[in-house]
Structure 1
Amino acid sequence: MNQDIRKEGALKSWLFLVLLALIWGSSFILIKRGLLVFSPGEVGAYRIVSAGLVLVPLSVSKLKNLNRRQVGNLIIVGFVGSFIPAFLFAKAQTQLSSSLTGVLNALTPLCVVMVGAVFFKSRITRRNAFGLLIAFIGVGILITVREGGGLGTFAQINAYAFLVLLATLCYGINLNIIKYWFVALKPVEITAISLLMVLPLASLYLFLFTDFSFKLVHVEGGYLAAGYITILGVVGTAIALILFNILVKIATPVFASSVTYLIPIVAVLWGVWDGEVLLMGHYIGISVVIFGVWIGNRNARARITNSNIENK
């Protein structure tokens, strides 16, 4: 009986893991579709608005239990964990393919380690440092690949890749803040309330300082592009967050974090399906980045257990 429960728990964990990889790996092609009509600022702002609105029922009810310090910290989380990255990813994809953006996003776990070591005095192992070095070598290859297939010079670097790196750095800061500054609140509550904190700013910018409403109605494909961004915000942020926390509960946080390795694969497959051209240098860089992320997190992965199954 106990063995059957373990098998059922393992199967459910893998199903959730694959589903999350499909959702988050598809985020970059959805951004690309949104950019066909809307500007990067409009895509980023509407992504926050759609995600924030769908989580309002969860966030508003928790506000009365927060003190002033928690509110201030949640505003910071809202900006570095959602608001700023949403704009950075949209801007980056004006000059980067969705597949390469998805691969660069895989650096997030290593940014978590690096930020934790520098600002929060957490321990960084030699393996973590080695993984970081390998991954950044892969990034260097990706951002210097030229159309002919060779590598370019420093002057030929695609600077938009640094916007993605900055976004992953924001994620690294955000996850460390959540880990070290919040104890009482659950991750889903933190994300819902932090999105509520930045929802008014995103809404004001979107509807008062952009042409989003005009494009939505008058530009061909406006409603379709908005639909893609709505899926990005509602499914890729709100629903995926809930699924991720369920996965953490039924498996382990370490197992859940392994979705990082699957997201780039899904992003690349979407990109190739959409006609994006990847050169040999890109494939080499992608392999080096994923290998570096795997090396940097190998110790953690070795500690995966089935300890949560007994708590069901």
Structure 2
Amino acid sequence: MKKGSLKSSLFLFLAAFIWGVAFVAQSVGMDYMGPFSFNGARFILGALVLLPLVAIRRQKAIKEGKEGAPFGVTLRGGILCGIALGSAALFQQFGIMYTTVGKAGFITTLYIILVPIASIFLGKKASGKVWIGAALAAVGMYLLCMTETLKLSRGDLLVFICALIFTVHILVIDHFAEKVDGVELSCLQFLVAGVIGWSGAILFEHPVLSDFIAGIVPLAYAGILSCGVAYTLQIIGQKDLDPTVASLILSMESVFSVLAGFVLLHQTLSLQELSGCILVFAAVILVQLPDKKKK
């Protein structure tokens, strides 16, 4: 494995860990505010956290005489990524209101299968080990998240739409990651996603300051770490990795969410859930194994 690929894999692994723990923050945060308000606030917070870093990087580039990517390209990427991210997050949040968390977790991670399928239509090929890893991960997710017979309900449909949009989000990031600054792209996508969330909050909810103050702890985690840090790690990490490989590593957030529930909420793991964890880890390791060199 190349050094750059290993570093990128570690970035995505850390992002998956942060997102896994963020499920706890999201669950607690919904006790204080609506889905539009929570998503709008956390994405804007994530953008504000990155603004100083964007300014520092800009000044450094100017001093070193480096030319950055055209602003139009960065703006276009930020808008497209932000629309995808904001929409997917809202569909997921609303879907969880009408279905179980186990179903939502499994259906959301269907993007690990949807990414290689979508990549085929974009002219990319996936190796045999990637398809095997995707199948293993899908079975692992089923064992990890499913606790009842799968039956498509209103909530399941909403979360499935979320998985489709997250697939688009991964592919859009893969398209722009090598063309623009990752931190600037991340900051812009949060601003766009935050505007989407706040627009919905103003139209359909009645957010009050006291709600945000009461839920400041889960909101701060979701905004600063889950948004400001993890999504930036995703953008930077995807630069040297195939989007299918990246999606498999990021799918480990479900594993970490179960572990976070065990540690923070004292939830026990069944044999079925442990089996799912093992399969997901096996899938990620398989995909990261180096290919045999052709003679």
State whether TM-score is above 0.5: yes
Task: Tell me the distance in 2 between the aligned counterparts of 1:253 and 1:14.
Answer: 8
Q: Does 1:227 align with 2:229?
A: no
Residue aligning to 1:179: 174
Alignment of 1:160-199 (within 5 A): 160-181=155-176, 183-199=178-194
Which of the numbers 81, 86, 99 marks the counterpart of 1:77? 81
CA deviation after TM superposition for structure 1 residue 104, in Å: 5.8
User: 1:160 is paired with a residue of what secondary structure?
Assistant: helix
Instruction: Describe the superposition over 1:4-56 as per-residue Cα deviations: whole angstroms up to 9, x where unpaired.
Output: xx9xx9x9999867754442221111110111122223222222222233334
Percent of aligned positions with the same letter in both sequences? 19
Which of the numbers 45, 48, 53 marks the counterpart of 2:48? 53
Task: Tell me the distance in 2 between the aligned counterparts of 1:271 and 1:49.
Answer: 26
Which of the numbers 246, 267, 270 marks the counterpart of 2:260? 270
Which of the numbers 124, 140, 146 marks the counterpart of 1:122? 124
CA deviation after TM superposition for structure 1 residue 303, in Å: 3.1
Which of the numbers 115, 126, 147 marks the counterpart of 1:112? 115
Residue aligning to 1:298: 286
User: 1:212 is paired with a residue of what secondary structure?
Assistant: coil
Which structure 1 residue ranges, 5 or more long, are not aligned? 1-5, 147-151, 305-312
Residue aligning to 1:32: 27
Structure 1-normalised TM-score? 0.67
Contact 2:82–2:190 (Cα < 8 Å) also in 1: yes
Contact 1:16–1:247 (Cα < 8 Å) also in 2: yes
Instruction: Describe the superposition over 1:86-123 as per-residue Cα deviations: whole angstroms up to 9, x where unpaired.
Output: 213322333566677556655544433222123x1111
Residue aligning to 1:308: none
Look up the equivalent residue of 1:229 and give its one-letter code.
Answer: L
Alignment RMSD (CA, Å): 4.3
Contact 2:15–2:233 (Cα < 8 Å) also in 1: yes
Instruction: Describe the superposition over 1:174-228 as per-residue Cα deviations: whole angstroms up to 9, x where unpaired.
Output: 2222333564302222221222334434333334542221xx42x6xx5232431
CA deviation after TM superposition for structure 1 residue 291, in Å: 6.2
User: 2:215 is paired with a residue of what secondary structure?
Assistant: helix
CA deviation after TM superposition for structure 1 residue 257, in Å: 7.1
Question: CA 1:230/1:13 → structure 2, altered by over 3 Å: closer, same or farther?
Answer: same
Task: Tell me the distance in 2 between the aligned counterparts of 1:92 and 1:224.
Answer: 24
Question: CA 1:98/1:58 → structure 2, altered by over 3 Å: closer, same or farther?
Answer: farther
Structure 2-normalised TM-score? 0.70
Look up the equivalent residue of 2:280 and give its one-letter code.
Answer: I
Contact 1:113–1:172 (Cα < 8 Å) also in 2: no
Q: Between Structure 1 and Structure 2, how many residues are aligned?
A: 276
User: 1:37 is paired with a residue of what secondary structure?
Assistant: coil
Task: Tell me the distance in 2 between the aligned counterparts of 1:282 and 1:27.
Answer: 19
Question: CA 1:133/1:159 → structure 2, altered by over 3 Å: closer, same or farther?
Answer: farther
Task: Tell me the distance in 1 between the aligned counterparts of 2:134 and 2:23.
Answer: 23
CA deviation after TM superposition for structure 1 residue 135, in Å: 4.0
Which of the numbers 90, 96, 101 marks the counterpart of 1:87? 90
Which structure 2 residue ranges, 5 or more long, are not aligned? 59-67
Which stretch shows the higher mean deviation, 158-167 or 229-238?
Answer: 158-167
Contact 2:95–2:156 (Cα < 8 Å) also in 1: yes
Question: CA 1:211/1:279 → structure 2, altered by over 3 Å: closer, same or farther?
Answer: farther
